[in-house]
Amino acid sequence: MRPITILALAIIIAAIGISVVAIQIWQSKHSKVIIRGAGATFPLLQIEKWINIFSQKYPDITISYQGIGSGAGQSQFFTNTIDFCGSDPPLTKEKWEKYRKKIMQIPYLLGAVVVVYNVPEIGNTTLKLSGNILALIYKGDIIYWDDQRIKEINPGLKLPHKQIIVAYRADASGTQYIFTLYLHKAAPNIWNKEWISKTMKSPIIGSDRTIGGKGNAGVVQIIKNTPYSIGFIEWSYAIKENLPIAAVENPAGEYVVPSIKSLMKAAKAAAENLPKDPRGDFSKDVEIIVYAKANGAYPLTSWTHLIMWTKYSDPSKAHALAKFLEWIYKEGYNNLVPGYAPPPEDVQELLVKAIKILESS
């Protein structure tokens, strides 16, 4: 039998009504696709679990994610080093304006920043800490654990006369942004607005009472290895390492520990003010949810975001990302790591809208 020539094959394809474009689309949906992501360590434990489960169901899609911090993640995304970015804070309004209609931001997961500590004399006892006290500690004005202001709201605890070792994030961190935003909102007369940042701007940074760690994991190691230290990390890391977690004061004057319920109360109070389109301006959404004015709300609750393009030059990447978002929406929230919570249902609808945009690209 004579082999079919390219011309003959083209005639056959044309005869049965299959276009070259249709073949390309089919190939893009069925060939092996590699998706690279990087950014925030805040959702890292959850993303790692999701990718592991997703890859078993869709072996033709390979997704990787590196926890390098929100700042570094955004930098790599906009230089096209990666396909999507994880970022706790959304893009600034200026950045969003620059890329308007070209990018999407999806607040797809709830987490919490928790205050952890290593005070041997009290072990895992839950400390109460107000915004004022935390701001004074991180500013350097409260030096010892037995400071009268800490003792007043923790009666009965035998706090030691030991210097407080202040742990912070040495990298550009969304977790740090959330924490410093809380300090300013809860104690505006103590923590300057200019100190709200992904990098720590406290005047005591660099002193022998401060230690910087890279990533949430780096701060965890500081707390575990340094008696009399205090730090802030994502809630899931504290659960995993069994670290004591402080009850933090919210706007209602309640001292609240993180829980699915207390995170959801903060999210529901903030959700009505979010854009309804993933291509919208989300630059204020973290400011809305942190220190949310709702009874029972944990004040250091935050969204974390996926940032991606509305169109990709390689359609297979767009279809693969759409499939991943669809899986998160339908199955991912049933596979949550302790320390995370799903966003309210109306916020989850942003995933559905993002899927349609990707599938149309």
Model confidence at 19: pLDDT above 80: no
CA 323 vs CA 64, 108, 234, 329, 342: distances in Å: 15, 15, 27, 10, 18
- Calculated CA dihedral for residues 101, 106, 107, 113, nearest 10 degrees: -90
Of the candidates 111, 114, 122, 61, the residue with the CA atom closest to the CA atom of residue 86: 111
Q: What is the domain partition of the chain in residue ranges?
A: 1-30, 87-308+337-361
pLDDT band at 361; cut points 50, 70, 90: confident
For 87-308+337-361, CATH number out of 1.20.1420.20, 3.40.190.10, 3.30.420.40, 3.10.20.30 equals 3.40.190.10
How many Cβ atoms sit within 10 Å of the Cβ of residue 139? Answer: 18
Q: Are 248 and 300 in contact (CB under 8 A)?
A: yes
Chain segment 194-206, per-residue pLDDT in tens: 999 999 999 999 9
- In whole angstroms, how far apart are CA 293 and each of 112, 300, 301, 341? 16, 12, 12, 19
201-245 per-position pLDDT tens digit: 999 999 999 999 999 999 999 999 999 999 999 999 999 999 999
Residue burial 187-204, b: 16+ Cβ < 10 Å; e: rest: beebbbeebbebbbebeb
